[in-house]
Amino acid sequence: MENKLPCNRKYRLIPNSYVPVMLRPRKRQSDQLRPLNYRTMEVVVVEEGVKKQDIVADILNERIRRRLDESFYVLDLDDVLEKINQWKRCMPRVGLFYAVKCNSSAAILRVVAAAGCGFDVASKSEMQKALSTGVPSSRLVYSNTCKAASHLVHARRHALRLTVFDSEDELRKLHRLFPGAQVMVRLRYGDPAAAIPMSGRFGVDTATARRLLGVAWQLGLEVVGVAFHVGCGSSDPAAYVQAVAESRKVFDMRGEVGKPMRVLDIGGGFPGVLSKVAMSFPEFCAPINKALDEHFPPESGVEIMAEPGQYLVTTAQSLFTSVIGVKSEADGQEQDTYILSDGLYGACRDIATFHLQPTIRVHPAHPPASEPKKVKVTLCGPTCDSLDKLVSDFSMPEAHTGDWLELRNMGAYTNELASGFNGFPQPKTVVLVSKGHLSLIPT
């Protein structure tokens, strides 16, 4: 069978170099599947026996040689696939609906679709991106508790029925614009220790859920279940356990008119980097599975789904950013400041906002004569905003103008939050995929 290469360039690695081979663009295979956008993405097929770090070193060397300095991502699709497989092993009863908001790179969405998973979308644009992979709208959940009317009408046109609500106003809007929707009440329940708790803004308590369910039933809406999200970056499976138990109470609220509910959506929040939770992923999942089996045993017929975002993509993507300048102590600084080609308004918003300590490796432009000394520095982005500062007092190997920094675990909420302020471009993406997984990203 002909090997379907979805890439515009193929690299055959020969020692210390690689040769791009141009491939003709392929025809579209279906009405829905859109071609990958090669202006923002370059796909590199990793041949058997070739090490990914050698490809990355080649790409960096080429950039250094050509004096290019704009940031770029390296996205490892094999890592995304491994996360999906791990999910299927550890959460066998829980359908995976990837949260598109976390990283909507077309390559990731295709892997998710090809692996048989679904999507959590929050807007018309996210619907379009998810549907462009060719999945039917029945594999989408519209997880926005307050939907703009025009976006809701778009969902209706595409028969995207499964959605959430947490207010009477939203129920009336659904009744008016999309009476055939299948609705889940969003519960306010969360892990207070999560990096971004959700319960401040989203969801309702159980008493309010009871009242809203009454309204939904009166309006004749099809109430299919309960949804919750314990918060982004949860570190405590106990939060899910309690929310599952609370959801059971809502399932038991069936009034005279209410039909039995049949869907439980346990949201996102699953850790992207396990060092933060100090346990393995199977250990994180075990108590959640136990709670699901206790409150929603398989014989209950309840379909269980989740909307992980960062779990799937955090470790898959690294950011490569260059040091475009150094302002040193000799320039009157308290400590040396490295100015990078990416910052708060690019991929690094979360690092700056949540004071995260990035995991950094330095790739020197010129091989150093000796082991670089450790220094304490401030890292800043390239814009003219004084807020564009990532970290201070940050301990890392000494770097110089022209060197490249590799920031690991940059797959979640990076591309999506970048604004391009001051005209600095969004980093392009180099997608790495091993030859065996090529068929997962068809054109």
Supply the residues annotated as catalytic.
Answer: 384
**Residue 308 lies near ligand PLP (rule: CB under 6 A):** yes
DSSP string over 18-54: EEEEE-PPPPPSSSSPPPP-TTTEEEEEE-TT--HHH
For 125-156, letters b (16+ CB in 10 Å) and e give: ebbebbbbbbbebebbbbbbbebeeebbebbb
**Residue 189 lies near ligand PLP (rule: CB under 6 A):** no
**Residue 102 lies near ligand PLP (rule: CB under 6 A):** yes
Asked if 97 and 122 count as a contact pair (C-beta separation under 8 A), the reply is no
**Residue 120 lies near ligand PLP (rule: CB under 6 A):** yes
Asked if 277 and 240 count as a contact pair (C-beta separation under 8 A), the reply is no
339-to-323, 343, 379 alpha-carbon distances in Å: 6, 9, 6
Which of residues 191, 307, 342, 350 is near ligand PLP by CB under 6 A?
A: 307
Tokens of 120: 């959590």
Which one of the spans 82-90, 98-106, 278-286, 375-383 is the region binding ligand PLP (CB under 6 A)?
A: 98-106
399-to-74, 319, 323, 345, 389 alpha-carbon distances in Å: 21, 16, 8, 22, 17
Size of the site for ligand PLP (CB under 6 A): 17
Closest approach of Cβ 159 to ligand PLP, in Å? 21
Which of residues 50, 77, 90, 99 is near ligand PLP by CB under 6 A?
A: 99
143 vs 443, beta carbon nearer ligand PLP: 143
Dump strand ranges (E) for 130-215: 140-142, 162-165, 182-186
Which of residues 105, 143, 321, 341 is near ligand PLP by CB under 6 A?
A: 143
**Residue 267 lies near ligand PLP (rule: CB under 6 A):** yes
Closest approach of Cβ 191 to ligand PLP, in Å? 11
Tell me whether strands 140-142 and 118-121 are parallel, antiparallel or unpaired: parallel
Phi and psi torsions of 97, nearest 5°: -115, 95
**Residue 80 lies near ligand PLP (rule: CB under 6 A):** no
Asked if 257 and 220 count as a contact pair (C-beta separation under 8 A), the reply is no
269 vs 442, beta carbon nearer ligand PLP: 269
Q: Report the alpha-carbon distance of residue 129 to residue 204 in Å, rounded.
A: 30
Which of residues 11, 165, 189, 270 is near ligand PLP by CB under 6 A?
A: 270
Which of residues 203, 268, 346, 382 is near ligand PLP by CB under 6 A?
A: 268
Q: Report the alpha-carbon distance of residue 41 to residue 226 in Å, rounded.
A: 38
**Residue 269 lies near ligand PLP (rule: CB under 6 A):** yes
Closest approach of Cβ 269 to ligand PLP, in Å? 4
Which of residues 124, 139, 229, 349 is near ligand PLP by CB under 6 A?
A: 229
Which one of the spans 165-173, 247-255, 304-312, 381-389 is the region binding ligand PLP (CB under 6 A)?
A: 304-312
Which one of the spans 60-68, 216-224, 248-256, 265-273 is the region binding ligand PLP (CB under 6 A)?
A: 265-273
- Residues recorded for the chain: 443
Residue of 267, 266, 272, 269 whose CA lies nearest to 311: 272
Asked if 194 and 233 count as a contact pair (C-beta separation under 8 A), the reply is yes
**Residue 309 lies near ligand PLP (rule: CB under 6 A):** yes
Which one of the spans 94-102, 237-245, 289-297, 380-388 is the region binding ligand PLP (CB under 6 A)?
A: 94-102
Closest approach of Cβ 312 to ligand PLP, in Å? 8
Which one of the spans 274-282, 308-316, 396-404, 416-424 is the region binding ligand PLP (CB under 6 A)?
A: 308-316
27-to-39, 102, 106, 156 alpha-carbon distances in Å: 17, 29, 17, 29
| Residues in contact with ligand PLP, shown as a per-residue x/- string from 357 to 396 under the rule CB under 6 A | ----------------------------------------
3-class secondary structure, 263: strand
Exposure on the CB side of residue 289, measured as CA atoms within 13 A: 15
Which of residues 160, 232, 304, 441 is near ligand PLP by CB under 6 A?
A: 232
Closest approach of Cβ 52 to ligand PLP, in Å? 25
Residues that bind ligand PLP (CB under 6 A): 99, 101-102, 120, 143, 229, 232, 267-270, 307-311, 412
